[in-house]
Chains A and B, each alone.
Chain A
Amino acid sequence: MILGVIEHDRGKLNEASLEMLTLARTLGSPLEAVLIGADAGPFRETLKEYGVTKVYEVQHDQLGEYAPRAWGTSVVQLVRAKSPQAVLAAGTDRGNEVMAHVGAALGLPVAANCTEVRPGEGVYEVTRLRWGGSLLEDAELHGEPKLLTVAPHALSPEPASAGEVAVEAFRPTLDEKDLRVRVSAREEREREGVPLTEAKVVVGGGRGVGSAEGFKILEELAHLLGGAVGGSRVATNNGWRPHSDQIGQTGVQIAPDLYIACGISGAIQHIVGVKGAKYILAINKDPEAPIFQRADFGIVGDLHEVVPALVEEIKKRKSS
């Protein structure tokens, strides 16, 4: 049996869990899923579509809010009761955190952010992301069961129903150590404009922008195109942009229709954040900048001249 840990938050199933299930069902059968702190009801149909034949609904009165170790302990107790060959979760913040607790309790490593998994006798061959996806590692994963997380966006979620899905209640025994860490409150952020990860056009600024004020014209360009503004690590570390705008290995990964890279040299840590973009337009005054090797279109020039001219030209076209 292959067990998938389903990630959800306040009634919403995480898309990355569907990618995980798509990979999980290639490893063996049956495919079963564990759902913690939520009723299986609303998720049942979707899980069935993705080939899950049984859902373990973990029931406990203290699991209304996310509690990392309690989630981990619940999975561990289910593993001990049902002996799956492999346990998978999405390679998200939560998925990696829960699996780390599972791995710690079982004394087994977790292969985080796998893109491919080839099951074998006693050993799995996995391909996993290193350097945020700038490099791939082929590795051997030992231990029983195999523990792994699936890199988000590594594959497309594809439904493949296996017929019916059963729901079975599972009651874990949780102690104070499991329950002392949990979400105790939440803060909502006020949203301004389109979120970076959902924008169809993203205008990114790097070292060449030079200051927080320098981003104003990038904002204007983004606004004209109905997009959002992001920055390289240089831009956020210099305080020109808030850190939540950072695109790259230690920030967000985006997949817009168009990414306009302004004054960005093209360090590999930044490029892994934008490799999902359909088109990249690079504006940089250094014709040797590596960004031109990754871009589809390029303008060799000073962004402080080119971007304002671009804004004017788009305005002119829009009004005519």
Chain B
Amino acid sequence: MKVLVCIKRVPDTGARFELTPDGQEIDTRNLEFTISPHEECAVEEAIRLVEQHGGESVVLTLGPEAAAEQLREALAKGVDKGVLLETDGSEWDPVATAEAIAQAVQQLESEQGQGPFDLLLFGNESADAGYYQVGVRVADRLDRPCVAGIKALKVEDGKARAKREVPGGWEIYELPLPCVFTVKEGINVPRHPSLRGIMTAKKKEIRRLTPEKPTMQLVKRRLRKPPERGGECEILGEGVAAVPKAVEKLKEIGVI
């Protein structure tokens, strides 16, 4: 089985964001970067599928040279190869991103000469841009069946069986291979890379391609913070001594 998983490099934010003075970006001077959470699970799913069925996994990202760090992280966890679609680091809209990925997939598949990837995996949405559409667009562009937002996946007899969580239960989908899924966190618990994994990852291949940047049709003007919840926090006390007062509050607001 051949699985391609697409990821995005995003800042690993903590308790609050600071924006750059021009409002164009998050100020990342004091932040680390990571793989967007849903995609971390997509990476884990790709590794597990190859562990189970044999074959090869490939991780792909579109982003600046620095995004190679996130490819290495996926390689350290057990993905076999990396592909970096290198940009100048500016933001690409969902149409441009999907087009560049679809073209890269076609190129990789024709070079390999072994037919299409059995599965293309994406995250349901990236943590930062939240476009909610890149995976579906790539699927339609390549004419492959696709389900978004799945939380369970099983591949058997040339078919993929996927589950999507809905209020009160699950929807079940059965897709022929090759196909495309966007996954949600919760589909698995991603592993941490082992020390050995980190060492081997250094020797794994990262292929670099440079897609052409088209005209953007969804153009960011600026980022801003929404009005924050909050105001004054009334500290009721320390430890168990605060409990009677807390219960009074619960009565006051009508939950007891």
Contact = CB atoms under 8 A, between A and B. Distances in A.
A280 to B, nearest CB: 8
Q: What 4 pairs between A and B have smallest CB-CB spacing?
A: A243-B186, A100-B133, A100-B136, A301-B239
Given A183-B173, A301-B239, A69 B233 contact: no
B229 A299 contact: no
Given A225-B256, A302-B239, A112 B233 contact: no
Nearest to A12: B167
A300 B128 contact: no
A115 B133 CA distance: 18
A200 B243 contact: no
Interface string B163-181: 1111111111111100000
A267 B15 contact: yes
Given A135-B224, A141-B218, A225-B256, A297 B136 contact: no
Interface of B: 13-17, 19, 26, 37-38, 93-95, 98, 125, 127-133, 135-137, 139-141, 143, 145-149, 151, 163-176, 184-186, 189-190, 217-226, 228-240, 242-244, 246-247, 249-251, 253-256
Nearest to A250: B185
A269 B222 CA distance: 20
B106 to A, nearest CB: 16
Q: Which of A130, A293, A294 has the most CB of B within 10 A?
A: A130
Contacts of B93: 109
A160 interface: no
B223 A130 contact: yes
Given A113-B132, A142-B217, A296-B233, A301 B17 contact: no
A108 B228 CA distance: 33
Interface stretch (A41-49, A208-216, A308-316): A308-316
A109 B94 contact: yes
Chain B contact residues: over half helix, strand or loop, or mixed?
A: mixed
B226 A135 contact: yes
B189 A297 contact: no
Contact of A104 (B137, B165, B169): B137
A245 to B, nearest CB: 10
A268 B253 contact: no
Contacts of A109: 93-95, 131, 133, 217-218
Nearest to A302: B239
Interface residues of A, number: 100
B130 A314 contact: no
28 contacts: A68-B146, A93-B149, A100-B133, A100-B135, A100-B136, A103-B137, A104-B136, A111-B218, A139-B221, A181-B145, A183-B171, A183-B173, A184-B173, A237-B189, A250-B38, A258-B253, A265-B15, A267-B13, A268-B17, A292-B235, A297-B249, A300-B235, A300-B237, A301-B239, A306-B243, A310-B246, A313-B243, A314-B247
A314 B170 contact: no
A169 interface: no
A130 B240 contact: no
Nearest to A226: B255
Contacts of A125: 221
A232 interface: no
A298 interface: yes
Contact of A298 (B37, B147, B222, B236): B236
